[in-house]
Amino acid sequence: MTPSRRRLTALAAATTLVLTGATAGAAHAAVPPDAPEQIRNGDFSAGTSPWFSYGTGDLGVTDGRLCTTVPGGLANPWDAGIGQDAVPLIAGAEYELSFDVSANPGAALTAVLQLGSAPYTTYASVNATATGTPQHVTRTFTAPADNPAAQLIFQVGGSPQAQTFCLDNVSLRGGEAAPPYEPDTGPRVRVNQVGYLPGGPKHATLVTDATDPLPWQLKSAAGTVVAGGRTTPRGVDPASAQHVQTVDFSSFRTPGIGYTLVVDGETSHPFDISGTLYDRLRVDALQFFYAQRSGIPIDGDLIGAEYARPAGHLGVAPNQGDTDVPCQPGVCDHRLDVRGGWYDAGDHGKYVVNGGIATYQLLNAFERTKTAETAGGGAALGDSTLRVPERGNQVPDILDEARWELEFLLRMQVPAGQPLAGMAHHKIHDRNWTGLPLAPQGDPQPRELHPPSTAATLNLAAVAAQCARLFAPYDAAFAARCATAARTAYAAAKAHPKIYASAADGNGGGAYDDTNVTDEFYWAAVELWLTTGEAAYLTDLTTSPLHTAEVFDAGGAFGWQSVAALGRLDLATVPNGLPAAERARIRASVTAAADRYLATLHGQAYGLPLPGDAGAYVWGGNSNVINNAVVLATAFDLTRDARYRDGAVQTADYLLGRNALNISYVTGWGEHAAQNQHSRIFAHQLDPNLPHPPAGSLAGGPNAALQDPYAANLLAGCQPMFCYVDDINSYSTNEVAINWNSALAWLASFLADQRDAAAVPAPTCAVTYTTHGSWPDGFNTQVTVRNTGKSAVDGWSLRWAFTGDQQVQGYWSAKVSQSGATVTATNESWNARIALGAEITFGLIGSTAGSPNPTPTLITLNGVACTLS
């Protein structure tokens, strides 16, 4: 029997209940039979999407009906529900709501059309009693208010007995057919609305039907033409289906503000040309994490009065967490204090796998300053560079921010003596989904620990190992805690290698499921080996099939579900003891991936390192764009080849306005920027008393799959680059998330370090760094510097960084000091001059508590990298 025939059969036996009017006695005109349908997939022929549920079992389609189980004993009808978001209502319009419902053994239910966020204003409702026989219910009403994104909820809780509810033929007819959505894309000339680096690439994209090259003019803020040329026709851009041409004005290098590009009768948004463009973006992108902190009051004096709020989830009513949190029923018998950390995204959940990659990127942005010439030794990420409560504590602020999450991750580890000891709980979040807006301190939902998983445990192992080496110079006790946790977690994961998070575990929070943890094992082994130097971890990483595999995907080099590339990048950049040939092979794999991303970028008329097909535009796709740029940036750090730097710099153009929608995806950056990202905390669109997301918040970006009801209703049939809307209801295109902002923070830090993006200077020195002797707690090193430049050096300062806990204890023939991991050696009065072709030598004695002591890969002389020999 076909599904359509089954429905006809069921209706023949169904009872029909007809209710009319919003109040008793009200009269309503009949809804015309051709009135537009406002419910999507009401016959469930397309499965369960876009329907959702809370407080129920999994949704499923059985014999063409949407069915689920509901536990008995729930206190209220609204404690369990089945619903659909983004239902449009027009004030004064007539509607007919109808549906078929059955329940076994039988129970009451209420269908409610309501505001989908607090105060959940009811527009219309109907009560019914469902039995084992399907009942057809119809209700007509007049909508009392306009709402383009109302919510239909079937409240199915409150029965003393467990029930199986089934729905079919859900319909809401009336109102008007939605007009085709036409986004406001502004001028047809698309530029980076923030600006360009003086020595960097400067490209723009023109949307035009013209097929021949067109003249363009670059104008100053005063309207003076300062440069000109002709466009390059590019045909139809596959990601947007637009006819486009491109403009290259890279040869113009004069700094200034308020430039505009004029072509084909259109004037672009204004932009600047400056070497300091990205200084504040680095700070803003990192500041996002303080705004997302859980378990601490947010200080308005640090981040702005509109963002001040009490601490969330410290066990103060109405909160029911996070200081003493139980597991889900049947998961474990222990309770944990899991306070702190960052709220993951637009919800109040905290997830180890997403926290893992976000923490990694902050730690890696700092570790990059030890090995990248343009990073200036990390001064821009040092103490008192961010607006965080810990500033002034002699620890780099970016490490302080990362530590807030690290402390939470450590708390998620199963205690000794418990089943699965050493594993990490996959996540903690509310028992049921909550609505928007909702401040963290106002969340009334019970909080629950979810089962441990191998993926979460290996994330903990990897970032705790990073923590151990990077915090060693600043807080030896905390570094030791991290090292112990990392070793314990890795051992536990090896003992339990196939405990996977369930894809169905998504009520109240995201599932973050992952059934392939080969990459997590590889990444964790790499980080533990880099930190400890122990042979067992080296064996594990070198015997992993991923060690020689291609790990950089075209659609996204890495992400929370794919982390092998993190291990590859760290082996390429962090000083270590791999044989030279092996290290060269690893570095070559990074530059080969960067070459592919460059080729992709050059093939895209909007200049981004992402393929133009729909499959590349996914949930959180903006972070994939950035992570591909991270590979480009890393290739530049490794090779000093400006092509890679230019590719990373050009990627920022797409994020900041050079795209089909002519929008900056970073709040507060650009003339037309996203500001209504999906967030319970920053919900200004829903409550004008609340703020927009803070400046520097990255939106997820175009998602061709349209995985939320609002986007699915509004953007159906969109070309990939147009599958985005700046609306708080579109969580699949417009959410914020810590792993997306960590990517932005990493890239922004790299961009800020490039200053004017001037020509890369040739090395003028060569250094030989030789450790002549090592013992369990120390080493003896000699450094020779040779002048290979074109003139004598009068006064010198040599700088490098240790990888872990090494400390300088003595020195000769130079003045040697150490701050954190950074070592600075300056000349004595008698050896200040290094003649052309001459060399000087000095030495030092160092101590270590057992960390590896590899040769540094970056040593600078007066700020310029030397060749290492």
Amino acid at 348: H
- Provide φ and ψ at 275, rounded to 5°: -85, -5
d(CA 12, CA 451): 46
678 counts as catalytic: yes
SS3 assignment for 634-660: HHHHHHCCHHHHHHHHHHHHHHECCCC
28 counts as catalytic: no
d(CA 614, CA 702): 10
Decide if 685 contacts 727 (C-beta within 8 A): yes
Nearest to 62 by CA among 3, 106, 134: 3
Amino acid at 797: S
For the chain, how far is it from start to end, CA to CA, in angstroms?
A: 78
Nearest to 816 by CA among 831, 826, 802, 806: 826
d(CA 197, CA 744): 18
Structure token pair of residue 598: 């460059």
Catalogue the E-assigned strands of 451-522: 452-453
772 counts as catalytic: no
Overall residue count recorded for the chain in this entry: 869
d(CA 780, CA 522): 33
* 3-class secondary structure, 269: coil
| Choice among 79, 400, 735, 805 that is catalytic | 735
Please give the helix or strand (H or E) that residue 102 lies within, else none. strand 94-104
Write the burial class of residue 845 (CB in 10 Å: 0-12 exposed, 13-18 middle, 19+ buried): middle
Decide if 783 contacts 798 (C-beta within 8 A): yes
Beta pairing, strands 427-430 & 447-449: antiparallel
243 counts as catalytic: no
What is the secondary structure of 703-742 as a DSSP string?
-TT--SHHHHHHSTT--GGG-----TT-HHHHB--HHHHH
| Choice among 425, 426, 429, 678 that is catalytic | 678
* 3-class secondary structure, 89: strand
Alpha-carbon dihedral of residues 216, 220, 222, 223, nearest 10 degrees?
Answer: 0
CA angle 549, 552, 557 (to 5 degrees): 150
Cross-strand pairs, 425: 452
How would you label 293-321 residue by residue, b for 16+ Cβ within 10 Å and e otherwise?
bbbbebbeebbbeebebebbbbbeeebbb
Residues 6+ apart with CB under 8 A from 179: none
| Choice among 726, 727, 753, 805 that is catalytic | 726
Alpha-carbon dihedral of residues 252, 253, 256, 260, nearest 10 degrees?
Answer: 30
| Choice among 43, 85, 322, 347 that is catalytic | 347
- Provide φ and ψ at 66, rounded to 5°: -85, 120
The total of other beta-carbon atoms located within 10 Å of residue 756's CB is 15
R_g over Cα of the chain: 30
Q: What is the largest CA-CA distance in the chain?
A: 104
Q: Taking the alpha carbons of 787, 789, 790, 796 in that order, is the dihedral positive or negative?
A: negative
- Provide φ and ψ at 351, rounded to 5°: -125, 130
- Provide φ and ψ at 402, rounded to 5°: -60, -35
Decide if 268 contacts 187 (C-beta within 8 A): yes
d(CA 867, CA 854): 17
Q: How far is residue 29 CA from its own chain's centroid? A: 50
Cross-strand pairs, 232: 246
Decide if 801 contacts 856 (C-beta within 8 A): yes
d(CA 824, CA 488): 36
Active site residues: 347, 678, 726, 735
